[in-house]
């Protein structure tokens, strides 16, 4: 049975219970509206830890768009069933008063290039909000290992840096992106797509896969341009950015010299939700 805790006190009591005390804790933070991407994280945690704790909290401090926050999908009963089925032991579903008793504030923490490129450039303050909530949750849950999806590739880089600096005892594990049968990266925001937008959206991953074929005969900028044109064949999709970056520093790459693998990261606007995705490219595929 998945135990549900809504307050810090309940969480504290549960974690001091025999079922949880002195056990290796895996932790999977989420914003709910769960899908198979989330359950892949839970299942990975169940495999390598004694107990698995998840959280569902739509963190206002990481939203830079009021409508995005207001429209974020919410389906607690289904989420709970999915957590049970995936083997999650405890889920923490706090209110904003529990998380931010002194009002919504973010840590004064900076990540240099990692937070200024791509998502950071288009969603100012987003990663500071992410670092704030993840730190708060780590302090409450005290996990041994935490799981995050590669779907949010830049977020994973920030999370690794946060752990390196402030939580060196927490092991960070990244999990590959889970996709729909047609290639669309699973996302809670996909629920907000109209049927027409949903039909067009698989073009994003199709274009990303196609990008590998363009290397190394085109510059990184030209590959980004070709991917953008491919996607914008659909009138319903507009590319906000498409950047080929170093997979660790996230610095945009300008040529293929001395590179083995790069990461292409993309954000696509629809008239509804904004979609992000990414893919690894081998620079010298054998």
The residue within the footprint of ligand AMP, chosen from 39, 61, 177, 278 (CB under 6 A), is 177
User: What gap in Å lies between CA 189 and CA 209, rounded to an integer?
Assistant: 22
Q: Which residues contact 257 (CB under 8 A, 6 or more apart)?
A: none
Stretch of 64-72, 132-140, 178-186, 225-233 lying at the interface with ligand AMP (CB under 6 A): 178-186
For the bound state, the minimum distance from the C-beta of residue 255 to ligand AMP, rounded and expressed in Å, comes to 30
148 touches ligand AMP by CB under 6 A: yes
> What residues numbered 249-278 form the site for ligand AMP, per CB under 6 A?
none
Return the residue of 178, 193, 204, 250 that touches ligand AMP, per CB under 6 A.
Answer: 178
Note whether 175 binds ligand AMP by CB under 6 A: yes
Active-site option among 35, 38, 110, 217? 38
Here's the x/- map for ligand AMP, 36-55, by CB under 6 A: it reads as -xx-xx--------------
Of 96 and 219, nearer to ligand AMP (C-beta) is 96
Please tell me the distance from the alpha carbon of residue 41 to that of residue 44, in angstroms, as a whole number.
Answer: 5
* Shortest Å distance, C-beta 148 to ligand AMP: 4
Secondary structure letter of residue 63 according to DSSP: -
Stretch of 81-89, 184-192, 209-217, 227-235 lying at the interface with ligand AMP (CB under 6 A)? 184-192
Q: Are 264 and 242 in contact (CB under 8 A)?
A: yes
SS3 content of the chain, % helix, strand, coil (to 5): 45, 20, 35
Q: Which two tokens stand for residue 160?
A: 């690794």
Active site residue 218: no
DSSP state of 269: E
To ligand AMP, the closest distance from the beta carbon of 143 in angstroms equals: 13
Least distance between ligand AMP and beta carbon 50 (Å): 21
Selection from 119, 163, 125, 121 nearest residue 29 by Cα:
163
Provide the H-helix boundaries in 103-176.
113-116, 118-122, 126-141, 153-166
User: At 45, is the secondary structure helix, strand, or coil?
Assistant: helix
Catalytic positions are 38
Q: Report the interface residues with ligand AMP, using CB under 6 A.
A: 30-31, 37-38, 40-41, 148-149, 151-152, 175, 177-178, 185-188
């Amino acid at each position: 049975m998945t135990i549900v805790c809504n307050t810090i006190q309940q969480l504290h009591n549960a974690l001091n219970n025999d079922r949880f005390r002195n056990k290796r804790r895996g932790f999977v933070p989420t914003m709910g509206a769960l899908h198979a991407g989330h359950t892949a994280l839970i299942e990975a945690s169940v495999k390598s830890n004694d107990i698995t704790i998840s959280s569902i909290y739509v963190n206002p401090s990481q939203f830079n768009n009021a409508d995005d926050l207001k429209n974020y999908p919410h389906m607690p009963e289904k989420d709970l069933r999915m957590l049970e089925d995936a083997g999650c032991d405890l889920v923490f579903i706090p209110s904003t008063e529990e998380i931010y008793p002194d009002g919504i504030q973010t840590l004064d923490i900076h990540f240099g290039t990692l937070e200024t490129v791509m998502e950071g450039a288009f969603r100012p303050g987003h990663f500071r909000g992410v670092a704030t909530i993840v730190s708060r949750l780590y302090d409450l849950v005290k996990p041994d290992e935490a799981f995050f999806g590669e779907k949010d590739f830049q977020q994973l880089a920030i999370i690794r840096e946060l752990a390196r600096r402030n939580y060196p005892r927490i092991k960070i594990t990244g999990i590959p992106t889970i996709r729909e049968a047609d290639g669309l990266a699973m996302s809670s925001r996909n629920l907000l797509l109209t049927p027409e937008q949903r039909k067009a959206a698989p073009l994003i991953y199709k274009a990303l896969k196609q990008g590998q074929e363009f290397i190394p005969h085109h510059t990184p900028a030209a590959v980004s341009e070709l991917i953008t044109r491919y996607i914008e064949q659909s009138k319903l999709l507009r590319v906000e950015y498409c950047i080929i970056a170093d997979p660790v520093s996230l610095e945009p790459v300008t040529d293929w010299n001395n590179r083995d693998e790069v990461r292409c990261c993309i954000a696509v606007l629809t008239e509804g939700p904004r979609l992000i995705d990414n893919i690894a490219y081998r620079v010298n595929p054998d």
